[in-house]
Structure 1
Amino acid sequence: MLLDIQARVKQVLRATIRSLWSIDPPDVILNQTPKIELGELASPVSFELARQIKKPPRIIAGELIARAGKIDGVEKMEVAGAGYINVFLDRAAAIRGSRLGAFATEAGKVIVEHTNINPNKAAHIGHLRNAAIGDTFVRILQATGRKVEVQNYIDNTGVQVADVIVGLQQVQKKTLDDVRRLIGDPSVKFDYYCWDVYAGVTPFYESHDPKHALRAQTLKEIEEGGNDTARMAETVSMTIARCHLRTMDRIHVHYHLLPRESDILHLKFWDYAFRQLREREAIFLETEGKNRGCWVMRLEAEGYDEDKIIVRSNGTVTYVGKDIAYQLWKLGLLDQDFKYDLFDEKQNVWVTTSSDGRPDHPAFGRGETVYNVIDVRQSYLQNVVRQGLIGLGYEEQARRSIHFSYEVVTLSPACAEQLGIAISPEERKRPHIEVSGRKGQGVKADDLLDTLESEARTEVQQRNPEFTPAETAETAHQIAVGALRYFLLKFTRTAIIAFDFKEALNFDGETGPYLQYATVRGNNIVNKLREVQPDFDFGRVHQLLDNPKFAVFLNEANDIWELLYMTLRLDEIAQQVIMTLEPATLAKYAFTLAQRFSLFYHRYRIISEEDPERRLFYLLVVDLVRETLTKALDLMGIQVPRRM
């Protein structure tokens, strides 16, 4: 495993520094070299030492190399430039070692909270970015051996749910029985229906209730429970939560637990947190101004005053207040627990409840580390939650509750028009079109996926007319999901995305279909060999690892070694994603690997190579690369089609 070799190099250099100069060694950094001919790794540690030892970096580097001796997995080390230590790996040993390695598993559960769609309408494209980022991070953590619990928080007592209830009761004039009939009507997509209801509430408030008195009253009734308004909110929110699960299942995103905000209130989690916040004087009762009668967080940071409100003057709890109680539970800081029911047996998804629940539930909560995947617009609110934990004396736990932020998703003008969104001539000139669920301007996730699958189906039919309808549908789905997930991951999380169908579905360039095609190409090479030589023993390919000719072939072709060296870096890339919270690193890595693989199979004859041992070597290269590409795609939640 490449990470093991890097760890050994760092350990030896640190020990050598202590031995030579009797000082505490600085951090030993290993960077990738600009060219494979210069070795694989380079350390600038000599420059750091030069200030302490008062010697030129080149002299220090030379002394370190001379004293370090042989390092397992390293062929040699050389002084480069003004004093870098360049490390040349034992190529054959590195490849052989990669077949045996495994991550050292860290202790403690990791909780990743992601998706978190308000259960008041259909999911939209922005929710897909949250889910793709969160699910990819979960997959990477699990691949490194971490125990991960995935939670999707259901805000079923918040403003958005209250607004759609106001829309149903006041605008649509629906009773609870009417809503139940709508849900049972197979011709009605209930999450789509509520999308339109929600969009109609804003103009209703403007004309009939500018002070939002109905919203405040509805929130109060939902929190109190035991009335038709609360029952309607429960019915609507949990029905839409099921719709969201179906949507996310389409892109291979799943969860372990749906914690419900209502249960935080009904099980008195909030009461405990509120008492603690008051006793610690982390919050205070405002006695004047527009926030009079509200309990407010003591926070000097800039932000809107209303964002610091924990309890409103009418006694209802804000999102921030409930989230503080939720964070306490996730970190195992409450002496209480939810009750649990099985929500979706097929996906094995559990949900919290305030009633009896089931005794055979898994153990939830008590995370050692918590990641909260929430968009960047919630950064200030997340800081308020963090300050709440600190105010309660939980500084270390607050440090381990991490806001995994990301930017929003917009649409390219062409994409917006293709989805039927009316845009003005002025908007057509803009780089992106912003969307708003409250205004009803947006792209429903299922509509986007349907369009992607339709476009992909046309391409698959043209390329593979012999496919059955079922094969066409399956392949189109895999390509559509690959296109979407890769597009949402390839941009750094701080970048605003303008989604575009043509760009996402392109089989060339930096796209999911391009990566899928490269992997399929590798699989096809192996399949073609089996057609040409049905009796070929594929076990001979990996036996080449122990053949002395393997090292000869590796050392004579730097371009092939550079390709194989990239396959060794997948574990390192996974660790980088965890450390930097940047999934785009994995996406860029996979694209570069696919590009170099394309160069390889266009440059070398593989099946037609006449030298039997060299052909085995080329087949081994194909096998190692296709295996790594498959793993990288799986980490991004992307499947490899059988054919493309």
Structure 2
Amino acid sequence: MILPLQQAVRAALQDTLTTLYGHAVVPATLVIETPPTRALGDLALPCAFELARTLRRAPRAIAQDIVAALPPIAGVARIEAVGGGYINVFLDRAAFLRSHLGQGSAMATTERVKTIVEHTAINPNKAAHIGHLRNSILGDTVGRLLRFLGTPVEIQNYIDDTGVQVADVVVGFERLEGKGLEDVRALATGEKFDYYCWDLYARVTEWYAADTERLAIRKATLHAVEQGGNATADMGAIIAEAIVGCHLRTMARLHIDYDLLSWEGDILRLQFWATAFDILKRNGTVYLQPDGKLKGCWVMEIDEDVDATVEQADPVDAGEGDDEAEAEGGPNQREKVIVRSDGTVTYVGKDIANQFWKFGLLGKDFLYRPFATRIDGDTLWATTSTGGAAAHPAFGGAGTVINVIDTRQSYLQKLLKQALATMGHRAQAEQSIHFSYEMVALSHKTARELGYRGDGDGRPFVEVSGRKGLGVKADDLLDRLVDKAQLEVRKRNPDFSDAEALGTAEEIAVAAVRYFMVKFSRTKIIAFDIDEALSFEGESGPYLQYAAVRAGNILTKLRDREQVDEAAVAQTIATLPTDALASGEDADALWDLVLACGRLDETAEAAVRTLEPSVLAKYAFGLAQAFSGFYHRCPILSEERQDVRLWRAAAASYFKQQMTRALDLMGAVVPGRM
């Protein structure tokens, strides 16, 4: 990995500059750049240019003084002052590959503060759809990146079990189907309950549209669900619990897991909101509106720097509560309703209470219950308001909170930051991060393949809507990807058993959808295309997998032919002559691949710093291309010189190691064969 070497160079440079010029002269940040060509080294230090103005000396002379004073640095072969003042660092190529090949991925970092990443947060009223996958995949990838860099991470999934969407399904069962509590309980234990509720939810939406006076039934049902202690609320709880189980099974197919399910109902039952409300009232952050259209509502004045005109999600999909959402603080209004005149809390109010708890600022905690078994066999915990386990992990109390929510919720996320800042928690407000992303649509070709024609509005993609029952369920999409991948796997591997073909197809399908969701900038609307995602060529997850498999095949042939496995290669290069890495075009090509592999940690840090997982995807694709170029330029098995053959095999092994890690950071694995 390159970051420890960069840290060592930066530390040596810091000490040298302090000795030469004094602490006050040393720049606060010592920049390390990547030279444009291999001849200029592996790292470049431009500090002499920054010091020139202060010291009133030529940058070249300063650079020469620095190089003369720098002590030996482990892992560095030589350092040169060149040109007008650059300092070029040449790494010890053989030492780098020897020290990193076959090593674990644990990062030696300074202590980092706990980070909560909340993602998925699908309303528990219907099956997950393709749009939800971008949220979950982006959030899971960010969590994996943080853990890779040594950050303690807690992954949370917020369950809006008291929202209008659950109430709508309750209305559907009670009013459209005439079902009681026990009827719903029996249905909830069956297969595809999330699919059943998907259709019912769409029917309810049409039922409201046919007679808007029926919205009063929705409002009464929502109030009953929020109040609890009644048959309507019990039905809502049964629906939500069963649907969450369906969502967990869907996400597990994509290797997505959680530490904690936080239930919105518990925020109400445990008086989290009441506590937060008292704090906000005492501080004057919220106040009672005495007149006007918001009379009787508790509102929060919106700061001027919070853009209230930003496009917001459909109130029904977002969970705003009812058709009065516009009156509660829509575009061009400088007040946001936190508590409605009927006493019900808007969901931004509940979010404020939850955000305070995440930072450990509420002075209250949930009770916790085991909910399910996680993918790795550990316990998935959920909040509860009754009972609770005596022993459980410590949840909440983070130094940074990252909420993964689409761009339509930007306005409401800004209100969370405003509430924290207004209460004097400015550090927490700064670390309250909205990880926003744009929507997912379908390419027209994929929409047709999945049986969804769209509206024919002339746009280059087909938009979907779960509320209207139009769209692609996540499990249906995954099933289709697996089926198509299986056809390709069987064509390439006719000797595979049914189980082997299916297992490999599932691994390819997961890589296909996860890479596709990550490779675009999160601010870009994407049109998912099945064929593009599944392609074994081009910028796709299967292409990355195939590159790693190809490297593995080369190493397997080397093992079978010469009885030298990867462990033996790593051991053998410890005493091999280093001529194959020293100089020349082939040596530079080998080193270019090794150094590119070593930049995984640097790339992961950049992806976290910019909150842009596409940085990782682009890196992995470039790395796969680099291996392909190396493979064609520098053959391994046909190379006659044993030392060169083994160094090249070591480079292929290191590539396989790092590509496997890169894919793991994106939630994918490398199949044994493809």
Which whole-Å CA distance do the structure 1 matches of 2:159 and 2:566 have between them? 50
1:420-469 Cα shifts (integer Å, max 9, x gaps)? 11235543xx3222222122222111111011001101111111111100
Separation in 1, partners of 2:565, 2:412: 60
Instruction: Point out the more displaced range, 514-523 or 157-166.
Output: 157-166
CA distance in 2, matches of 1:273, 1:537: 61
Q: Deviations over 1:468-527 (max 9, x none)?
A: 000010000000000000111111111111100111000001100000001111111121
Q: Quick check: 215-224 or 164-173, which moved more?
A: 164-173
Counterpart of 1:2 in structure 2 is: 2
Structure 1 equivalent of residue 343 of structure 2: 315
Residue-by-residue CA offset, 1:332-391 (whole Å, 9 max, x unaligned): 122222111111135421111111122232222222322211112111111111111222
In the alignment, structure 1 residue 293 sits paired with structure 2 residue 296: yes
SS in 1 for 2:454: coil
Normalising by structure 1, what TM-score? 0.95
1:362 to 390, 393, 399: 393
Residue 633 of structure 2 aligns with an amino acid whose one-letter code is: R
Quick check: 56-65 or 582-591, which moved more? Answer: 56-65
Aligned with residue 196 of structure 1, among 185, 195, 199:
199
Equivalent residue of 1:410, what SS?
Answer: strand
1:55-204 superposed matches below 5 A: 55-98=57-100, 102-186=107-191, 189-204=192-207
Mapped contact 2:259–2:380 kept (Cα < 8 A)? yes
User: d(CA) in 2 for partners of 1:119 and 1:59?
Assistant: 67
Local SS of the residue matching 1:86: strand
Return the match for 2:560 from 531, 535, 548.
531
Gaps of at least 5 residues in structure 2 are 310-326, 330-335
Please name the residue that 1:25 is paired with. Answer: 26
Deviations 1:249-304 (A, max 9, x none): 00000111111000000011111100000000011111222222111112223316
Q: Aligned pair 1:622/2:652, yes or no?
A: yes
Could you tell me how far 1:80 is from its partner in structure 2?
Answer: 4.4
Match of 1:15 in 2: 15
User: How do 1:249-264 and structure 2 match up within 5 A?
Assistant: 249-264=252-267
Determine if the alignment matches structure 1 residue 395 to structure 2 residue 423: no
C-alpha distance in 2, partners of 1:290/1:50?
64
Q: Distance in 1 between matches of 2:265 and 2:69?
A: 65
CA contact (8 A) 1:37 1:558 kept: no
Q: Aligned runs of 1:398-547 on 2, under 5 Å?
A: 398-427=429-458, 430-533=459-562, 535-536=563-564, 538-547=566-575
The superposition leaves residues 30-87 of structure 1 with CA deviations (integer Å, 9 ceiling, x where unpaired) of 1212222221122332332233233343333333323334333222333445433222
- The 8 Å contact of residues 109 and 149 in structure 1, kept in 2 or not, is answered as yes
Match of 2:46 among 44, 49, 52: 44
Question: 2:581·2:588 contact (CA, 8 Å) conserved in 1?
Answer: no
Structure 1 pair 396–538 and aligned structure 2 pair: CA distance change class (3 A):
closer
> Are the aligned partners of 2:558 and 2:565 in contact in 1 as well (CA < 8 Å)?
no
Equivalence for 1:375: 406
Distance in 1 (CA, whole Å) between partners of 2:647 and 2:98 is 14
For 1:270, the equivalent position in structure 2 comes to 273
Distance 1:550 1:541, change over 3 A: farther
Q: Structure 2 residue aligned with 1:575, among 581, 602, 605?
A: 605
Provide closer, same or farther for how the CA distance between residues 75 and 200 of structure 1 changes in structure 2, counting only shifts above 3 A: same
Q: How many angstroms does 1:129 deviate by?
A: 1.0
Distance in 2 (alpha carbons) for counterparts of 1:48 and 1:276: 49
From the superposition, tell whether residues 250 and 398 of structure 1 become closer, same or farther in structure 2 (CA, over 3 Å). Answer: same
- Pair 1:297–1:211, CA change in 2 (3 A): farther
Q: Any idea what the Cα deviations from partners look like across 1:521-563, whole Å, max 9, x if unmatched?
A: 1111121223323x44654422344325136534341111000
Aligned mates of 1:322, 1:423 — CA distance in 2: 35
* AA at the equivalent of 1:38: L
Opposite residue 25 of structure 1, the aligned amino acid is V
Q: Tell whether 2:237 aligns with 1:207.
A: no
The one-letter code matched in structure 2 to 1:619 is A
Farther-moved stretch of structure 1 (216-225 vs 83-92) = 83-92
State the secondary structure of the residue aligned to 1:613. helix
Say whether the 8 Å CA contact 1:165–1:229 is kept in structure 2: yes
Deviation at 1:605, TM superposition (A): 2.7
Change in Cα spacing, 1:424 to 1:547, as seen in structure 2 (3 Å) is same
Letter in 1 for 2:609: M
**Partners of 1:618 and 1:14 in 2: how far apart?**
36
State the 1:607 CA deviation. Answer: 2.1
What is the identity, as a one-letter code, of the residue corresponding to 1:254? D
Cα deviation for residue 211 of structure 1 reads 8.0
Task: Tell whether the 8 Å contact from 2:257 to 2:374 is kept in structure 1 after alignment.
Answer: no
Separation (CA, whole Å) in 2 of partners of 1:332 and 1:297: 22
Alpha-carbon distance, 1:107 to partner:
4.2
CA contact (8 A) 1:105 1:144 kept: no
Cα pair distance change 1:277/1:49, threshold 3 Å: same
Corresponding position of 2:323 = none
Equivalent-residue separation in structure 1 for 2:307 and 2:116 (angstroms): 29
The alignment-based identity, stated in percent, is 51
Q: Name the CA shift for 1:537/1:460 in 2 (closer, same or farther; >3 Å).
A: closer
Match of 1:335 in 2: 363
Please give the per-residue CA displacement for 1:545-591, whole angstroms capped at 9, x wherever unaligned: 43251365343411110000011111111221221111111111111
Seen in structure 2, the aligned counterparts of structure 1 residues 181 and 543 have a Cα distance that, compared at 3 Å, is closer
Distance in 1 separating the partners of 2:97 and 2:643:
17
Q: What is the CA–CA distance in structure 1 between the aligned matches of 2:557 and 2:470, rounded to whole Å?
A: 49
Give me the CA root mean square deviation.
Answer: 2.0
1:362 maps to a residue whose letter is P
1:640 is matched with which residue? 670
Assess if the C-alpha contact under 8 Å between 1:105 and 1:146 holds in 2: no
CA pair 97-531 structure 1, distance change in 2 beyond 3 A: closer
Distance change in 2, residues 1:543/1:531 (3 Å) = closer
From the superposition, tell whether residues 540 and 242 of structure 1 become closer, same or farther in structure 2 (CA, over 3 Å): closer
In structure 2, what is the Cα distance between the partners aligned to 1:92 and 1:144? 25
Look up the equivalent residue of 2:446 and give its one-letter code.
Answer: C
Q: Is this contact kept in 1: 2:124–2:166, CA < 8 A?
A: yes
Instruction: Quote the Cα distance in structure 2 between the aligned partners of 1:56 and 1:210.
Output: 80
SS in 2 for 1:87: strand
Does the CA contact (< 8 Å) of 2:549 and 2:672 recur in 1? yes
Checking the alignment, whether the CA contact within 8 Å between 1:267 and 1:338 is kept in structure 2 is: yes
**Alpha carbons of structure 1 residues 184 and 536: separation in structure 2 relative to 1, 3 Å:** closer
Aligned mates of 2:164, 2:51 — CA distance in 1: 58
| 1:603 aligned residue (624, 628, 633) | 633
SS of equivalent to 1:448: helix
What is the CA–CA distance in structure 2 between the aligned matches of 1:441 and 1:236, rounded to whole Å?
Answer: 21
1: distance between equivalents of 2:487 and 2:559?
30
Counterpart-to-counterpart distance in 2, 1:584 and 1:642: 26
State the alpha-carbon separation in 1 of the partners of residues 9 and 577 from structure 2: 27
Structure 1's 78 and 390: CA in aligned 2 closer, same or farther, altered over 3 A? same
Measure the CA separation in 2 of the matches of 1:246 and 1:129.
17
Kindly indicate whether the alpha-carbon contact (under 8 Å) linking 1:540 and 1:616 is maintained by their aligned counterparts in 2: no
